[in-house]
Amino acid sequence: MTKKVLFYVQHLMGVGHVFRAMRLVKAMARAGLSVELVYGGEPIPNLDVGGARVHYLPSLRAGTKVFREMVGANGQIADQAYRDRRRDQLLNIFRSTAPDILMTEAFPFGRRQMFFELLPLLDAAVGSPSRPLIACSVRDILQENRKPSRDRETVDLLKTYYDAIFVHGDPHFARLEDTFPYHDEIGDLVRYTGIVAPEAVSTGTRDSGDGFDVVVSVGGGLMGRELLFAAAEAKGLSSLDDKHWCFVTGINTAAEDVAHMQTLLSGKVTVRTFLTSLPEVLARSDLSVSRAGYNTVADVFTAGCRAVFVPLSDGEETEQIRRAEMLAERGLAETVPPEKADAASIAAAIDRAAAGAPTAAGAFRLDGAETTARMLSELV
């Protein structure tokens, strides 16, 4: 009998974890699991859900000025009635689907703003006559500026409700205890899956499709303008200035920022808003310049190109900085710390990467999606 997974995914600002979740959804479907996807963020155009049935909740996103504020589909701060409507709809979805597995993306390590609907969902699940297995899906490196009281609350929630924590990382690279202090209390729940990476890509040739000497990408672009500007200036300072560069600006970069970036560029340059498959393009390219987010690192190591990582730092972000530091410590990539992310430093890092070897094949376990699907199947 086909087992059913109800997978709760909510993005509040960036969309990277949504694409990681979609890789998990596709792997679960390939493994023969039936996936019911609960999606609570703003719609993403042409999102490939891999055959899952999608249940859209009234959308919520983080406020642009105050992150803790929740903004609804109408652009207004979501009031209690809006939240109640979401909660009731979510509970109805749970009852109607009667899943064998309930999986929450990030929560309770993150998505704390969603307590108003996730605690009722978890209570409904544990009180169900056919209690589902309850699992958490979380990346390998967490934010490190949390209050101790929040970490304690996370432990309490995990011990009360959860049967498994799927940590999407290679334990030989990063372990949960590196960024979560109370790991010993939940260690029996933890299962390392490997990195959730894209499916293996064919390197092909430059003639077989898009391929460049240097690809500069900034994810969705929400916080990428400084890197785009610095990399554009770095091109003229780099020994690769005469090569073919591609700048992928992301769908959220403002038009005026793209226009300014283009004034800084000369020579053989392609500018794209979005690439359908970044890993495939990177596999046909020589060098990547990017942030150090989970998905981008997975894409680069799947592709096997040379890499320069410039982690995001907004005064609160720590995950990308930690990831970049760990890559640099292991000699796996060139990195530029945020406080030194000027054009000259990025150009120097590009030149060092170009003179070095491509990213090491087999540096990480990249089978996280398939392993997660297999583990879920074995647990129910």
Report all structural domains of the chain as residue ranges with CATH numbers, in order of start: 4-195+366-379 (3.40.50.2000), 206-355 (3.40.50.2000)
Alpha carbon distance 81, 371 (integer Å):
40
Secondary structure (DSSP) of 238-277: STTTTS-EEEE--TTS-HHHHHHHHHT--SSEEEES--TT
The pLDDT assigned to 204 comes to 56
Amino acid, single-letter form, for residue 21: A
Q: Would the pLDDT of 190 be above 60?
A: yes
Residues 6+ apart with CB under 8 A from 12: 41, 60, 61, 62, 67, 111, 113
68-72, 279-283, 297-301: range with lowest mean pLDDT = 68-72
| Residues 248-261, mean pLDDT to the nearest whole number | 94
Question: 42-46, 169-173, 267-271, 291-295: which range is least confident on average?
Answer: 42-46
What pLDDT is attached to residue 186?
Answer: 98
CA-to-CA distance for 282 and 301, rounded, in angstroms? 10
Q: Is the pLDDT of residue 314 over 80?
A: no
Hunting for tokens 């530029």 — which residue is that?
A: 336
- 211 vs 127: which has the higher pLDDT: 127
Percent of the chain with pLDDT over 90: 77
Q: Phi and psi for 296 in degrees, rounded to 5?
A: -65, -40
Task: Give CA–CA dist 35/102, Å, rounded.
Answer: 10
Lowest mean pLDDT segment, chosen from 6-15, 35-44, 158-167, 232-241: 6-15
Say what the pLDDT of residue 65 is. Answer: 54
User: Is residue 206 over pLDDT 70?
Assistant: no
Q: Averaged over 192-210, what is the pLDDT?
A: 75
Give CA separation, 7 vs 84, 93, 107, 313, in Å: 20, 11, 12, 30
pLDDT band at 107 (very low <50, low <70, confident <90, very high): very high
Pick the residue with more confidence: 46 or 318? Answer: 318
- Residues 217-246 have a mean pLDDT of 95
**Model confidence over 24-51: pLDDT tens digits?**
999 999 999 999 999 998 888 778 888 8
Helix (H, G, I), strand (E, B) or coil at 312: coil
pLDDT at res. 94: 99
Chain segment 343-354, per-residue pLDDT in tens:
999 999 999 999
In the prediction, which pLDDT does 205 show?
52
How many alpha carbons lie under 13 Å from residue 143 in its C-beta half-sphere? 17
Confidence of residue 64 (pLDDT cuts 50, 70, 90): low
| 73-77, 218-222, 281-285, 356-360, range with greatest mean pLDDT | 281-285
Mean pLDDT confidence for 357-363 = 83
Q: Do residues 313 and 329 make contact, with C-beta atoms less than 8 angstroms apart?
A: no
